[in-house]
Amino acid sequence: MIVILKPEATEALITDIVSQIEALGLQAHLSRGQFRTVIGVVGEEVKVDPEHLKAITGVEQVLPIMKPYKLASREFHKEDTVIDIPCPTGGVVKIGGGHCMAIAGPCAAEDEAMVHQLAREVKHAGASVLRGGAYKPRTSPYSFQGHGEEALRWLREAGKANNMPVITEVMDTRHVAVIERYTDIFQIGARNMQNFNLLFEVGKTRKPVVLKRGMAASISEWLMSAEYVLSQGNRQVILCERGIKTFETALRYTLDVSSVPVVKQLSHLPVIVDPSHAAGDRQYVPALARAGIAAGADGIMVECHDCPSKAMCDGPQALLPDTFESLMKELNAIAKALGRGFTTAPQAA
C-alpha cells in the first residue's frame, strides 16, 4: 500500500502515522518529496483494511497495490479455469479455456409443455444448457413472481429429456436447498450480486454458480462477490456480464463488452454475456451476442419464447427459436475465426 500524506502533515504527525502502521505489523518506508511525504507500506497487505489507514488524521490517500480479491485473481491461478458441467444422461458441457457454451430457454418456466417445447428447440439450435425462472425477481410486487418448486420440476424433466444441464435463479437463502435438489447451476441475479449471505450459501454447495454483474457494480466489486463464493470452497464460478446502468436510455442497460477482456486479464474465471437483459428488445440481441463472443466471452445466456407477446415476463426481449438458430450459426463462425468453439452434449438416448 502507498500512503500519501497531506502537505501540511508535521514531523510529529508523520512519526505518529509511522508508529500506527508498524503497530499493525507492517513496515513503513518514508519518501519525502518536494511537496508531500509518501509512505510505502510493506507486509501482508490483505490483512489490513486500507480504511484504517485512510481514517488516520494527516493521511490524504491510500493506494492499494494488491488486488482486494485473491482466489478470483489471475495471479493466484494462472491458467483459465475450465468447468465441467455434468449432463443429466451422460457427458459434460465444458466452459472456459476456449470452450464456449450457450444457455437458452424461457425467462420464466410458464407451464410444463412450453418448457419441454423450448428445451427441444434451443437444444436443436445449439444451446447446451437450459435456463428457466422458477422464482422471479420483479420490479413490481403485483407482477407474476414465478411458479416456484413446480417450475423446478418441469425444468428438471425437460433437462433430462434433452440431456441438458439446467440453470435457474436463486434469490433467497431459504431457497438454496430446494433449488440445489432440482438444478445443476445456480444463477445469482444482478440485483443480488451483493447479497452476501446468499453468496456464502451457494459457496457452501458444490454446484457451479453463474454470477451476474450488478448494474452498478465495478469489475472489482464483481470479482469481490465471486471471492465470497470461492472463499467457501466452491471454485466453479462463471461470471456473466448483463449490462450496466448508464445515462444512455436507448436500450435497457449498456452491455459493457469491455468487461470481458478486462475480466480475462484480472481473473481465471470464465465469463459469458447476457444480451437479452442488456438490450431488453429482441431486435438488438443478436448484435450484442456477437459482440460478446468477438470480445472473447466464453458463452452467452439468452431468452427464447415461441410467442413473445404471450410471455409472462420479458416478452419484448425473447428471441424466437428460429432467430436463435441463425444467431448460433453466426456465433460459431466468429468463435471459429478466433480459435474457439461451442459444443453441446449428445442428445439423450
Cell numbers placing 335: 468463435
Q: Is 177 in the site for a second copy (CB under 8 A)?
A: no
> What is the smallest separation between the CB atom of 325 and a second copy, expressed in angstroms?
16
Q: Please, which of residues 193-212 interact with a second copy by CB under 8 A? A: 194-200
To which residue does cell 470452450 refer?
99
**Burial level of 47, CB count in 10 A (0-12/13-18/19+)?**
exposed
Q: Segment near a second copy (CB under 8 A), from 88-96, 122-130, 148-156, 287-295? A: 287-295
Binding residue for a second copy (CB under 8 A) from 219, 269, 327, 328? 219
If one asks whether residue 25 binds a second copy (CB under 8 A), the answer comes out as: no
| Nearest CA among 141, 235, 281, 336 for reference residue 302 | 281
Q: How far is the CB of 288 from a second copy (least distance, A)?
A: 6
- Pick the closer one to a second copy by CB: 160 or 191: 191
Strand partners, 59: 5
CA distances from 288 to 37, 38, 41, 93, 251 (A): 48, 45, 44, 23, 11
272 scored as a contact of a second copy (CB under 8 A): no
Smallest separation, CB 313 to a second copy (Å): 7
Nearer to a second copy, 157 or 172 (CB): 172
Q: Which of 15, 220, 326, 347 binds a second copy (CB under 8 A)?
A: 220
For residue 289, the one-letter residue type is: A
20 touches a second copy (CB under 8 A)? yes
Cα–Cα distance for residue pair 256/271, rounded to 1 Å? 12
Record the cell numbers describing residue 86, joined without a space.
455434468
Task: Report the nearest approach of a second copy to the CB of residue 346 (Å).
Answer: 26
Residues 6+ apart with CB under 8 A from 218: none
Among residues 238 and 244, whose Cβ is nearest to a second copy? 244
Total interface residues for a second copy by CB under 8 A:
103
Q: Interaction with a second copy in 76-115: which residues (CB under 8 A)?
A: none
Q: Is 82 helix (H, G, I), strand (E, B) or coil?
A: coil
Closest CA to 129 of 109, 159, 97: 159
- Min dist CB 326 to a second copy, Å, is 11
How many Cα neighbours within 13 Å face the side chain of 316?
8
Q: Does 244 bind a second copy (CB under 8 A)?
A: yes
Nearer to a second copy, 123 or 277 (CB): 277
- Asked if 119 interacts with a second copy (CB under 8 A), we say no
Question: Taking the CB of residue 333, how many other CB atoms lie within 10 A of it?
Answer: 11
